[in-house]
Every structure is written in structure tokens, then in C-alpha cells.
Structure 1
Amino acid sequence: MTPSSISPEALAAALGQFPPTAEQSAVIAAPMAPALVVAGAGSGKTETMAGRVVWLVANGFVRRDEVLGLTFTRKAAGELAERIGRRLQRLSDYERRGLLPHLGRLHAEGRLDVFPALEQAGATESERIAALEALAPVQATSDDGDALLDRPTVSTYNSFADGIVRENAVRVGRDADAVVLSESAAWLLMRRVVFASADPRLPERIERPSMIIDAALRIARDGVDNLVDLDALSAFADDFQDVLERPSDSARTTVYADVRTAAEKVGGLDVLVDLARGYDAEKRRQGVIDFSDQVAGALQIVRAHVVVAEELRSRYRVVLLDEYQDTSVVQTDLLSTVFGGTSVMAVGDPHQSIYGWRGASAGNLGDFAVAFGRDAGAAHYSLLTSWRNSSDVLRAATAVLAPLAAASPVPVGALRPRPGAPRGEVAIAVDPDVDAEADRVAAWFEGVREARAAAGRPTTGAVLVRSKKHMVRFADALGRRGIPHRILGLGGLLSTPEVVDVVSALRVIDDTRAGSSLIRLLAGPRWSIGLADLRELSQLATRLSRHDSALQPLPDAVREKMRTSADGDAGS
């Protein structure tokens, strides 16, 4: 921070915010160079990121439209964009009055203290404007009076990559309007690839078709996310079979059962790899892409065309990366290729990594300095004051996280409670089953509500569950005690196996062409028909649909009439 710049504390007062902590101020006013921020749960990272953008704009380091913020979900992107936009709008009130260069002096004189007070008192916007007018009236606007139209860009990682691909699709021979497959469409496309495969190894697999489809789709996507060489992966499957020849520790056992099982599982990799290749070829044939293809395609473009990376660097002089611990290999490579050595600030917490199932690794936090700082390295900051939790909750969390902290790729300090934080209460209970646990939680919450109601205090709370399938049980337990509640995140109800089976049965009853639903029923747990038998059934259905009851071929005229009918001539 330069001596003449506006301090984060003065800026927070002017915008009606709480004063930042020393840790937050250090992050907000950090130099424009690569920096990694380890932000614990509830430490105000979103507030700090918004504060940094406004501080950079207020001090003239960047224009509004030279800032790029990336996060994982549209909800998180919307929240960050909303916070930044609201603060920049208030900043413009000072710009129009010519007060921006004087904020430091006004803060030192205490003349900005009125704005946090108004905010905490819930004052109206007109009251805030009146306080501004008392400092200075609005001056004549200059030609850049529409600066609010030049907003920072805040989006998801995949949306940013997709924009690169669509703007430069012609450079890599892609369709700029290619459709991104949904989860169900991707699964159905892989199903088509599996059932169309003539690979003689496929019928030998004992897994259900749905398991093969799921596994092949994961290989296809994870291969892209982790930049895996599919030839090397297939070769690994062959090399792994050597484990069966290794001597065992027991003279009575040639090959341990677990080793044989592992070899059988890994032995299917080469089949899955070929299916993944077929899936990729089918996507190209149909002109569609998968979510993983968005980032991989963007990386291909910026590596092959330096001018694209240079244009992005000139467009975005400041980059904020949220939840950096969850970025995949291909995402990290894309971002470091474009923005390495520039003003990139990554915010993350190795203890909050949730995307390991699709190739993300908190280890990328430890590699940040190499990826983005290159020869100059990167600064390191921490946000360790929790504004969300009580002191005992933090002590319990620290104890649980202690083993993880020792193995963390970056130093992670213990979270501290906010000033004046209550002590809180931590209780541990072990119940024999989910229903008993749900009833205990409901009884505890009932007691809390009654105690707070007697004191005239309202009560809100949340119940976090291990799996979506447990949500209804906890909701029922709360309902039995008359506790009003609502379930969030139950959008996956239609994807639960029981419901999917019911829906599949209804679709088959309604439409004899619902082949996908019929396959699910036949291959599911009720009948468990294997892939080889399903193929035979399909061939038999085709034959029966083209022959009469005496198994004589139908006349061409009859077959043509059947072909043009609602159900076609191939059945399900």
C-alpha cells in the first residue's frame, strides 16, 4: 500500500462496513502480485475479496472491468458479484462528489463514522445520501460518468473456460454453438456407445450395464480433468496383472483373494478406456461437448495460440480465484498458462476440499507459488478469525482437524473466535440407527426452541446430514414434534434408485419405445440381467418384430406400415 492510498479501514467506514481485521487489511491492500490466502471456515473470505476489488478500484490501480473473479457455483458467483457491485455503487457516490482523494483525512477526523452507525441502525438510503450531502454535494459528472456500466467479471470456472472456447472455436475446429451435454444426456450417450460396442471383452464383464456405463463415463471425464494419457492408462491395466505373479507371504496361498479381486477390477480398465475413446468420438460426431471439455478446450486454445492468452491478460489485470483447493489439474493448468506471473490472488482452505471425487486436490495450494509466481514466488496470507462459530465449536473443530493440519500442503493455523463470541456448547451422542439419531436431534432442538421462546427469542437452526436419503427421516422427526422446517437440496429425489425404478416402469407402460427405461428395469436389482443376455434379448426382440407368429418374414408392405407407426419396427 502506497503512503497516499486510501486505507482499507477508511474505505470500510465510507461504505458503512465493519472495520476489517489486521489480517483482512493485509489481504485487501496486498501488492498486485501472485498471492495465496488460506481462509478458514467463516473467516469472511467473500467480504475480504469484495473489499480487495473495491480497494483496488478506489486507489486507481485497476478499472472496474479489469477485474476477474472465478468460483465454482453460479450461486457463489452471484453472491460475490452482488457484494462487489453494491460496494462499487456506493464508491461511485464519493466519486461524483470529488471526495475519493479526501477519504483518508475524513476518516482520521472521524467524519466517516456516521456511515457504519447508519448501517447498523438500519437507516434508509435517503438518510445515507443526506449524510453524504453533508460532506459535499454532487459535482458535475465527466465523460466517464457511466463507470458503473464497466463492471467486474464474476463467473464460474467452467463458464469462463466455455467463453474462451466459444470465442475462439474456429481456431481449434470446433463449433462455437456446440451444446453442452447435461448429466443425463452424457449418460445416455455413453450408454449408446456401450451397447453399440462390438468389443468381445465386454460380454465377459460380470458388472451390470449401468455400472459399466458409469465407470466408462467417469474414465472419460476424469481423463480430461486430469490430463491423463489414455494409452498410458490402458498400459497400466496390463502392467498391473503382474501382481498375480508376485510371491505371497503364505506357503498355502498362491494369490490372496483381495489381490485377485483388485487385478480383476483393474483388468477392466482397458475396456473402459476404449469405451471412453468411443464416447469422445461420438461427441465429436454429434458436435456436442461435455463439461470437462470446456476447460480442456480452453487450455488447448491458449497453449496453441499465445495471442489469446495475451489478450486475456491485458483484459483482466487482477484475478481472484475462489475455493482454489477444489480446482482440478486442467483448471490449474489453464489459469496458470494465462495468468501466471500476474496479479492473481487465490483463496482456499485445504480442510474444505469437496471435489476430490472428480480429480481436485488440495495439494494444488502448495503448488500455487510455482504455478503462478514462477521464479518470483508468491505471498502468503491467512484469515483465521471465525465470525460464524462459538469458541467451543472452534475448539472441537480444531481437535478434529489436527491430523489433517499436520499433512496440509500449506501451513494452516487454528481458527480464533471473533471478539465477544459466546462459549457455545458441543454435545456428542451415538445412536443405534438413523431413526434414533433423528429423534434425538429433534428432541434436542425442541428443548432449545422452548428455552429461547421463554426468553422471547426466535430460533433458527440447521441439520446437516450425511446423505440426502436421510433428509426425510430427520424432517419426519421434526414434524412429529411440531417443529416447522423445510428441506433444502432435495432436488436429487428423482435420482434415488427406488424413484427412478418407478418412473422407468411408468415410462415403459406408457411408451413401448422407452428402451433406456426398459434396460434399467431389466438390468436392475429386480431381474439383474447381464450385458450378454441383454444383447441376446435385443436381437430376439428385433427378430420377433420382423417376423410373424410362424417366424416367417413379414411382407415388405407390412414392415413399412409398422415402421411408420408410432412404435416403429424394432421394438424396445
Structure 2
Amino acid sequence: MKISPAEIAAALKKIDNGVNAPTDEQILVISSPLEPAVVVAGAGSGKTETMSARVLWLVINGYVKPDQILGLTFTRKAAGELAIRIRTRLRQLMNSDLVSPELAKEIENNLDVTVLTYHSYAARVLSEHAIRIGIDADATPIGEAAAWQIASDAVNNFESLSAPLISAPSTVIDDVMLLSKLIAEHGCSVADVRIEMERIISALTALPGKDTKEIRDIYQAFKERSAILPIVARIDEHRKSRGLLTFDDQMSLAAELSQLFPDIGVSERAKFKVVLLDEYQDTSQSQLTLLSNLFGFDKTTGAAIATGHPVTAVGDPFQSIYGWRGASADTLDSFPAYFPGVSPRYSLSSSWRNDHVILDLANNVISYINDRTRLRDQKRVEVAELKARANAGLGELACGVFETKSLEAQGIAEYFEKLWFDPKRAAKLEKDRSSFAVLVRNRKQIPDIESALRTLRIPVEVVGVGGLVHVPEVADVIATLKVLAFPDKGSALMRLLTGPRFAIGAKDIAALGEFSRKRAASEKRDSRALVKLIEAGNPSSAENDDIFMGSIVDALDEIESAESTAFSKEGYARLVRAAREFRTLRSRVGTSITDLIIDIERAQHLDVEVLVRDGVAHGRRHLDRFLDEAAKYQRTGGSLSQFLNWLEAATSEEGGLKSGSVDVRRDVVQILTIHGAKGAEWDVVAVPGLAKGQFPVEGKRVDNWLKDEGQIPFSLRGDADQLPKFRIENVMDMKGAKAERIRFDDECKDKHLDEEFRLGYVAFTRAKTHLLCTTSWWRDGEKPVPPSALLEQVLTIANANPKAAKFLTDISEHPLDENNPNLAKPKSEIWPRDPLGDMRTIFNESVSQVVSAKSFERAQLVGEISKLPSEPASWARDAIALLDEIARSRNPQVVFLPQRLSVSTLLTLQSDPSEL
């Protein structure tokens, strides 16, 4: 007699009170037959617990042993959590009254359920069989930074372009990397891409009529793609011949092996009787190919496995947000094509995460997306309406439409302030306190929001490389690195000179500019002489440091040769100090990148400043994370200038360069992109920037192979059936070609817009109890920007739930100004800025308290300290120790000199006594 999921849960609850009875939907999944199946799991529906319960049910009922189960997911964190959950439940099961001593012993000997990431599993298959295709798979795969470095070197050193490139080098590098990835991902070749482009070009040029801009744009995109395809071929050959495989290379090669050698599938099916695939909607084409070849089809016969191997795919099509990485929202719908069999479809729709009003919003977005896809007659897997857990609260849905972006950031900070400093929250242990996050669509929103939170004394963590570069202390380090590496980075120098460290005023900046112009004019005359020397065939008489043009960075380096009377006395002294500091740091450029960053921190006292600002616990957080990223890049062997270029790429990349899943913290407000937030949850979440055209994003980010040089022809992709088709064969003339191009573009835009709404769904469902959605009328342009369709969804639910809604502004109120106040009335500040900024008032109050404090004799002070609680007493003792140290440093030190001194020692004594 089979033991039911409910009986297993009841037995485990006696051991662990945190175990809940499974819902009816979960019972169907847990006890489903051994056959291919799809589980459509909504956000927060408990899929991890359901998968672990499925393993228990299979093991206790004797279907499989634990070591015959394979679980795959996307991140190491998720794989670790699932493995721990399964092993914990198995150990608890061993101690329950359901398990016989014999079975308990058998479970104990087979606790190791194999739970891996998709890439780790591909690497395992590749390592066991790579020799069969002559690949060295023993080396550790290179990271994205190293892959970018290889592409950068190839682009900058490639000399055989078939046509001049219009795009900037950084864009070409991105296109080369994407083409390389997609060609490997979809199992095609550079030649295949070229042949398909030639087919389209031949068809277009054969059409009667005059070509239009739409058609000329196709020609230009194809011309650029053709020019960079040889670079793609070169870097692919370079990487594979040297064993420098990326994770994507490993996946595509493993898929190729599974296709070529049927015995690999036979072996894997014998090893793993049951397969669980997590986050299935995010799987790419090469992952699907690998898994289908191993567990969907018997490649020895080419036919589907007769009974269907027990593969359970769990996913949510509305959380498919990685289309730009090769995933598709239609993956769940196409499951039977990859894993033939009965393939029943189950649902998990009870949310264990979100309160009622947040679920109402999620369901509203789901309904909106379903309506959009139905209008286009597209058949998609539909997620059942999410249902709240039994003890779910009402929740709070807050929204606001502010005048400007800065006021929007301030509104978010003030909303968080009340919840963050709530006495009830403060009274709890840190592990029990509510967590907070701001999820942005565009990283440019981060600085304003971070600054607003810091102003209210709320600790902040910016997550991800792309966001990290906007943090003030990291931005200062990067600006310094640019000044050291590039003599033309005047804007970076201005950030440092006008910042709080040097605080150079307008008059002195103008004087420095004038000195730079005079110097450049002089150098221009010198350069003409240099050119004449070269033309005369006598370049050896030119000085090594002759240059054709000057720069403000070089001008600062020679500031001591300038007329000091052109500057203020203090300004000139600061500029000289800055020049000497940069000169000293420039002498360290030959060291490692990480050592140089540490030198910059010390020279600018950033390590001290951040500790003063944020305290010992949080102060160095961002600097340390930046050092970690620099260390990772350093291992690629790249130079300082290449590191800075890589940072530019990390900042501009659509969803950020790949990174691990975020660790949710309760001691800081975390700011990160929505892409980076997937898989995590917080109690309080803010989603800013819900403006038309900005979220959902419209325009240039749309995947369209007819105009995006980094895309391969859609017809070559494994998911071609799910993508728009350019039907050139149905076109009779150029007028028809133009109409077909416009239709194709519109389909691409619609597909992109679907993903943007799914991104909104992901953002909203990260919140457990409080969700704040905001925008502002005035963004960066000259015209007001109305709220987006996503915010309209929020307002619909807020208006329908007045008890759960909170309006931070009058939503119906349109901007009174006809012009952008940020442009018409730019914000004015005193320059140089006050180094303390908004903290000046608090600082002055603290100084006043110190100045007016009662003085004590030392013995009396020690007595007063003894009356204080332990923590303030500790602070007081530290203060006394610091005061004693300062006093000792001010007292003259007696140095006993030897009877005899060498000449060099006497010279050192005169020039720098501290050295002795």
C-alpha cells in the first residue's frame, strides 16, 4: 500500500513543526506517475518544497533510491538549497514512524541526491566524454570577464575587415560576443549565418522598384554583421584550441556530444531514473537539446523513449525574463516536443509569499499578458490565478506619481524610513526583522535613490557590478583609475577636483583650463616641428615626451610650472597637492589592479571616510565588493585600460553581466536590477521608474535580427517556430518588402513588450507585505512622461482595494509646469559643495554638543564611565585611548642619536627626519 503525501507530511510535522500539509495541487504533483510531466508553478507557490516532497514520496514508496534522482536548477545557491532541503527531509523521514529500520538504513547509505546547476551537469557530461571529439575539457571554464577580454583583443587587433564598421568598438565587442554565443547555442555556424543573409539580400535585390530606408537599413546591418563574422570565427577557434571554454561553450559541446554518441543517453538514463528540472522556463536551446537527447529520445534508434523517461519540468512562463540570454516563454508549451510521452500538466497556484493585495496585482498583470497574447492568436501555457495562503494578510500597495525623479527618490526614502525605524521592527532580533529592496529597471536610477536613503540614515547596499559603479566611493576610485590610465579623461578629473576631497572652486578650475589651453597651443607648435622632423627623415632628434595635443590631466601634472598668481592661494596649493598625489599613484600603475585600487583608497582616505559614514559593519561593503570584481578580472590577465573598458560594458549590459543569485539581507536596504532579483523575496519592495517608454522599455532594446548585428537569423534558431518570421518569399516588389519589414518589426516589438510585462510581474511578486510603485512626470526630456501601462495596472488594483492602498501623491494631478523644472530651473548649489552635504546640520549639532560638554578630570571621568551601560562605556574608553594617542603625538619626542653619523644619514635627517 502506498504512503500518501499527506501521511508523509503529518509524520514529518511531529519532527519539524515548520512542515505544512500539502495542498491538493501539491498532492497531485508529489504523487504523479513516473512519466514526463510539466508543473506550471506561479511565483512563491512552494515549488522547492514540492520537489523535495516528490523525492520523499518516490523513495519511501520504493520507486527509486535517492542517488538515482537528478535535480537541475540555475544557480549554485538554488541547487544548494534544494539539496539541503531534500537531505534534511530524508533524515527526518528516517526518524519517523513511517520508515522501517531496513529502509532507514538504505536511505542513510544513499543520501546523496544529485542536485546540480544546468551548467555543472553539462560540464560533468563534457568532462567524461570530451576526448571523443578532441576537446580538452579539464581546464576551469573562463568567466564572462575573460571571454570579454578575448573578444576585446580580437576586435582591437583584427586587420582584415571586409568593410569599415560604423559602430563603436565597445558595440562591436558586444555584437561579437552575442553572435558567438548564439551560434554555439543554436548549433549553427558562421557559414550558415552568411548563407541566410545572402539569401535575403538576393531576394531583395531581385525585387522591382526603388529600395526604401527600411530596406537600406537591412543592407547596412547585414554589411556590418558580415564584417565581424570573421572575428567571431577567430575567437571561437582561439578559445577552443586552447581549452578556454566558456560555460556556454561547455553546454553547446555537451549537447553536440549527446547528439553524436547515443550511448551517453543510455548511460545517463540508467544512472538517473527520475529527473527534476527547476526554472524550466529559463532553459536555453542548447540546454534543451542536451536534456532532450539524454532523457527524451533514444538516440540509438532516433525515436522517442517508448514509455517516456520520468522528467518533471517545473516553471512559470510569466517569469521568463531572459530572452536576451536565449530563453523563451514558450519553453513550457513545447515540453512534449522535447520529452515525448503522456506529458500531463499540473499547476501550483497557492502563493506562500505574497499578501492579498500584491497577489491581486500579480493576477491583474497575468490577465493583461494573457489578453495580449490571445489577440495575436498565440497559444501559450496559462498560469492559473494565484491564490493566497490561509494566513495571508491584507498587505499594502502604495503608489505615487511625483513631479521629478529626485522627488520620487525622496518619496521612496521617506516611505521606507517609517517602516525601517518602526520601534516594533527595532525590538526584534536582526534575523526576524523585515527586509527591504528597491528594484530598478535602469541603473541610472540608483544614485538618486541611494543618496535619498543615506540622507535619512538608512544603510544601503547596491548589488551587482553595473550598479556598483554608481556608488560614490567606487565612482571616485574608477575616476582616479581613468585619470591614471587615460590622459584625455578630463571629466573624471573634474569629478575628483570639484569633489569634497579637493573642493576646487570655479575660479581655480577656470584658471586650470586656461593653463591647459596655453600649454596645448605651445605643444601644437612643438608638434608641427616634430612633424617636420619626421617628414625630413630625422625623427631621432625629437624628444620622447613630445606629444601632439595637451589635456587637462597633463596640465595638472605640470601645475607647478604655471603662474601661481592666476589661482587663489588655497586653490593653487590644493591643485599642487592633487598633482603630486596623482603622480605618486601613477608610479604604481605597473602593479596589480587590486594593489592600485588599495593605494587609491589609502591616498584618498576612502577607507576611513566610508567607515565614518556607515560604521564599521557596513562602511567597506562596496569597496570590498569592487575589489572582489577587480580581482576576478585581474585573473584574466587584462590591463588597467581593458579593465576600465570592461566596467563600461558591465554598466551598459541589458541585465548586467552574469552574477550569482542575491543573498537577501535584513541589515541594509538592497538596491538591484529586477533581473538580479529573480528568485529572491523581501518584505518591503519599491519599484520606481514606471514611466511610459521606460518601464516597459520601448525602442532600441528589441531583439530584431534584421537590424541588430549581434543577432543570428531567426530561422537558424532552435526556437524559430516561436519567433517572428520575415517572409521575403511572399513579397512581389519593394513596396511589399517595406510593408513586410514593418510587420516584422512590429512583431518583434510585441514580443519584447510581453517580456517587459513579465519583468513587471517578477518585480511585483518579490514583495511579501508592502509594495511601493512610483514614477515621476518629468524625467530627462523636455516633455512630461505619463505613467506606464504597468503603473496603470497598479492604480487599478489600488483603487479597487482602498483598505490596502496608500497614495503618496495625488495620482490624478498632472504637472503644473509646462517645462521640465530640471531643465528650466536647474538645481543650484554652492560650489564647491559642502563635503558633509545634507549631514551638515547633524554634524554641527554634534560639534555643538562636544564644545558645550562638561569637562572632567581624568579620575572623575573614569568614575563617570563606570556608571554607564556597557556599550556607551566601551565607546568612552575608546575615546579616551584615542585622546591619549593624540596627546602623545603632540609631545616632542626625544631621539638619541649615535655618536657617529654617515653623510647619507645626515642628508636624510635634513630632508625627511621621519624616515629615521
* Correspondence 1:12 to 2:9: yes
| Aligned partners of 1:162 and 1:298 also within 8 Å | yes
Give distance in 2, aligned partners of 1:453 and 1:20: 32
Amino acid at match of 1:384: S
Aligned residue number for residue 177 of structure 1: 138
TM-score after normalising by structure 1: 0.75
Instruction: State how far apart, in whole Å, the 1-side matches of 2:421 and 2:173 are.
Output: 51
Using the TM superposition, give the Cα deviation of residue 77 of structure 1 relative to its aligned residue in structure 2, in angstroms.
Answer: 0.8
Match of 1:213 among 153, 166, 173: 173
Q: Which amino acid aligns with 2:311?
A: V
Give 1:91-240 correspondences, 5 Å limit: 91-94=93-96, 99-100=98-99, 144=105, 147-148=108-109, 150-202=111-163, 204-240=164-200
Partner of 1:387: 352
Matching residue of 1:512: none
Give the alignment partner of residue 331 of structure 1, picking from 287, 291, 296: 287
CA RMSD of aligned residues (A): 3.5
Q: How does 1:98-497 map to 2 (within 5 A)?
A: 99-100=98-99, 144=105, 147-148=108-109, 150-202=111-163, 204-241=164-201, 243=204, 255-340=211-296, 341-372=308-339, 374=340, 376-406=341-371, 407=373, 409-449=380-420, 453=424, 459-482=434-457, 484-487=458-461, 489-493=463-467
Task: State the 1:79 CA deviation.
Answer: 1.0
Letter in 2 for 1:487: E
Kindly tell me: are residues 420 and 452 of structure 1, through their superposed partners in 2, closer, same or farther at Cα, counting changes over 3 Å? farther
Contact 2:35 2:342 in 1 (8 A): no
Query: C-alpha offsets along residues 30-53 of structure 1, whole Å, 9 cap, x if unaligned?
Result: 111101000000111111111111
Give how far 1:193 is off.
2.1
One-letter amino acid of the structure 2 residue matched with residue 43 of structure 1 = S
Shift of 1:504: 8.8
Note closer, same or farther for the CA distance 1:85–1:352 as it changes in structure 2 (3 Å cut): same
Which deviates further from its counterpart, 262-271 or 80-89? 262-271
Structure 1 CA distance, aligned partners of 2:56 and 2:161? 62
Q: For the residues of structure 2 that align with 1:26 and 1:519, how far apart are their CA atoms?
A: 66
Q: Distance in 2 between matches of 1:405 and 1:165?
A: 40
- Output the CA distance in 2 between the equivalents of 1:151 and 1:441: 46
- Give the C-alpha shift of residue 502 in structure 1: 6.6
User: Which residue of the partner structure matches residue 132 of structure 1?
Assistant: none
- Paired with 1:162 and 1:169, the residues of 2 have a C-alpha distance of 10
Q: Distance in 2 between matches of 1:239 and 1:310?
A: 40
Instruction: Indicate the SS of the match to 2:136.
Output: coil
Gaps of 5+ in 1: 102-138, 249-253, 510-516, 527-539, 552-565
| Contact 2:36 2:311 (C-alpha < 8 Å) held by counterparts | yes
Give, in angstroms, the shift of residue 198 of structure 1: 2.8
Q: Deviations over 1:379-403 (max 9, x none)?
A: 1100011111122211122222223
Q: 2:61 aligns with which of 59, 62, 68?
A: 59
Contact 1:505 1:521 in 2 (8 A): no
Partner of 1:135: none
Cα distance in 2, alignment partners of residues 519 and 160 from structure 1? 47
Q: Give the C-alpha shift of residue 174 in structure 1.
A: 1.1
Contact 1:64–1:151, Cα closer than 8 Å, also in 2: yes
- In the TM superposition, residue 358 of structure 1 has moved relative to its aligned partner by 1.4
Mapped to 2, the partners of 1:508 and 1:146 lie a distance apart of 62
Post-superposition CA distance 1:393-427 (Å, at most 9, x none): 11122222223224362132111111232222323
In 1, Cα distance between equivalents of 2:207 and 2:410: 52
Provide the aligned length of Structure 1 versus Structure 2. 476
* Cα deviation, residue 157, structure 1: 0.3
Q: Is the 8 A contact 1:226 1:328 kept in 2?
A: no
Q: 1:261 to 1:278 in 2, by over 3 A?
A: same
Partner secondary structure for residue 95 of structure 2 = helix
- Structure exhibiting the larger radius of gyration computed from Cα positions: 2
- Report the CA distance shift for 1:270/1:426 in structure 2 as closer, same or farther (over 3 A): same
- Structure 2 distance, partners of 1:449, 1:496, is 24
Q: Residue 387 and residue 53 in structure 1: after superposition, are their counterparts in 2 closer, same or farther (change >3 A)? A: same
CA distance in 2, matches of 1:46, 1:427: 30
1:239, CA displacement in angstroms?
4.1
* Percent of residue pairs bearing the same amino acid type: 36
Matching residue of 1:561 = none
Q: Is the 8 A contact 2:90 2:111 kept in 1?
A: no
Change in Cα spacing, 1:216 to 1:478, as seen in structure 2 (3 Å) is: same
Work out whether residues 504 and 520 of structure 1, in 8 Å CA contact, stay in contact via their aligned partners in 2: no
Deviations 1:160-200 (A, max 9, x none): 00011111121111113134121121111112222332323
Q: Secondary structure at the match of 1:426?
A: strand
**Residue identity matched to 1:470:** Q
Structure 1 Cα separation of the partners of residues 33 and 393 of structure 2: 36
Match of 1:21 among 11, 20, 23: 23
Separation in 2, partners of 1:518, 1:344? 55
Q: How does 1:545-556 map to 2 (within 5 A)?
A: 549-550=540-541
| Closer/same/farther in 2, CA of residues 385 and 494 from structure 1, 3 Å limit | closer
Q: Is the 1:243–1:263 Cα contact (8 Å) retained in structure 2? A: no
Structure 2 counterpart SS, 1:477:
helix
Cα separation, 2, equivalents of 1:198 and 1:455:
63
- Residue 366 of structure 1: CA displacement? 0.8
Pair 277,508 (structure 1): closer, same or farther in 2 beyond 3 Å: farther
**Helix, strand or coil: the match of 1:423?**
coil
Q: Could you list the per-position Cα deviations for residues 231-287 of structure 1 after superposition, in whole angstroms to 9, with x for gaps in the alignment?
A: 232233334446578678xxxxx5544543343123211122222111111112322
Q: How does the TM-score come out when normalised to structure 2?
A: 0.48
Question: Per-residue deviation at 1:507?
Answer: 7.6
Q: Distance in 2 between matches of 1:306 and 1:214?
A: 36
The offset of 1:20, in angstroms, is 0.5
1:124 is matched with: none
